[in-house]
Amino acid sequence: MAAGRRGVADFAAGALRSALAPLGALLQEVHSTVNAVPEPPSEMSVTFGVQVGHDLKFGIVSGNGQAHLTVTATWHPPRADGGTAAPGAE
């Protein structure tokens, strides 16, 4: 019984790895685009939605062609000494 569970876990891990592999290129594109602006942000985060279907297929885009991707950027103003202000500092 344990061998069967392990096989299912290995299958699921492989499927997830395959489904998420294209995200590397997407994240690199976001990173490159953000760094190409004249004043890139001090911090950046990317959130994306992943759907798991009942057939164990993974996808970022749902069947109706909608995707969820949120990019958040934060700029910290420079300090008088040339450094960058810490988050929440005034």
Q: Do strands 43-48 and 69-74 pair parallel, antiparallel, or not at all (unpaired)? A: antiparallel
Burial code (b: 16+ CB inside 10 Å, e: under 16) for 34-43 equals eeeeeeeeee
Which tokens belong to 86? Answer: 């810490």
Q: Which is more confidently placed, 21 or 58?
A: 21
pTM of the shown model: 0.53
Q: Which is more confidently placed, 57 or 3?
A: 3
The region of weakest confidence among 8-12, 33-37, 58-62 is: 58-62
Residue 80: how many CB atoms within 10 A of its CB?
A: 6
Residue 90 has a pLDDT of: 47
Q: Do residues 23 and 48 lie in contact, with contact meaning Cβ atoms separated by under 8 Å?
A: yes
Q: Is 55 helix (H, G, I), strand (E, B) or coil?
A: coil
The percentage of the chain sitting over the pLDDT mark of 70, rounded to a whole number, equals 64
Rama region for 70: left / alpha / beta (φ>0; ψ in -120 to 50; rest): beta
Q: Is 48 helix (H, G, I), strand (E, B) or coil?
A: strand
